[in-house]
Structure 1
């Protein structure tokens, strides 16, 4: 029998990812965005951060890369990942009778450098 996820020890990659999400969240909050939900999971996928930017709902994917050997962090958000993000966002929005305007942003960490890419994904 498999151990429940909340009881399993976290991997170094999961811990690093959590730190990146924490840094991205702090940065976005400094820019005036408000956190609505973190790590929204559904059958379609996962959204790292769901933020409010004025009247716009922002779905944020946080990516980290320690080197750019296989492309940078932003480049790692390929078409399959984009489709999963869009499906997860559609599921999230099902609870809204009048969905607000939305956008998809990427916070990319390449080594220690952070880049905020607004409207990074076309839905």
Structure 2
């Protein structure tokens, strides 16, 4: 069973997980557009690009990949999707920009596993 870390420790753990995920994507040839972007619809942990595609990444840290994967609820996915659409609306090509939403899982050892293209 996974325990959620809250407060200042949780923020530090979250920042470390986001940094691990960012390194993972950068090593794969992506570029960073924004980190912890906040719009009216909500926050997106990482926004990256590879070619014309924009990738919106939700980062989850937990002791195990299985525990982290279960923490993305449908309502949270809907908020991420709305925030992604809000972000794209600020860009020159807007809705014509290819996009995907990924879930990046980070375990206690700092290993990263990415589930690409959730629900789109």
TM-score, normalising length from structure 2? 0.84
Name the CA distance, whole Å, in 1 between partners of 2:70 and 2:76: 11
Q: Does 1:21 align with 2:18?
A: yes
By percentage of residues, which structure has more helix? Answer: 2
Distance 2:32 2:64 in 1: 29
The change in CA–CA distance for 1:97 and 1:54 in structure 2 (over 3 A counts) is: closer
1:90-118 C-alpha deviation (Å, 9 max, x unpaired)? 11111134231000011101332321111
Structure 1 61/53 Cα, relative in aligned 2: closer, same or farther at 3 Å? same
Larger radius of gyration: 1
Deviation at 1:83, TM superposition (A): 0.6
Residue aligning to 1:81: 76
1:11-54 deviation per Cα after TM superposition (whole angstroms, max 9, x unaligned): 00000000000111011100000001111012211001100012
Higher RCO (CA 8 Å, separation ≥ 6 residues):
2
Maintained 8 Å contact 1:72/1:110: no
- What number of residue pairs does the alignment pair up? 111
Matched position secondary structure for 2:100: strand
1:96 to 87, 91, 100: 91
Unaligned runs of 5+ in 2: 1-6
> Who is 1:115 aligned against?
113
Q: Is the 8 A contact 2:21 2:106 kept in 1?
A: no
Gapped regions of structure 1 (runs ≥ 5) = 1-9
Contact preservation (8 Å) 2:46, 2:56: yes
CA–CA separation in structure 2 for the residues paired with 1:67 and 1:102: 28
* Greater share of residues in strand: 1
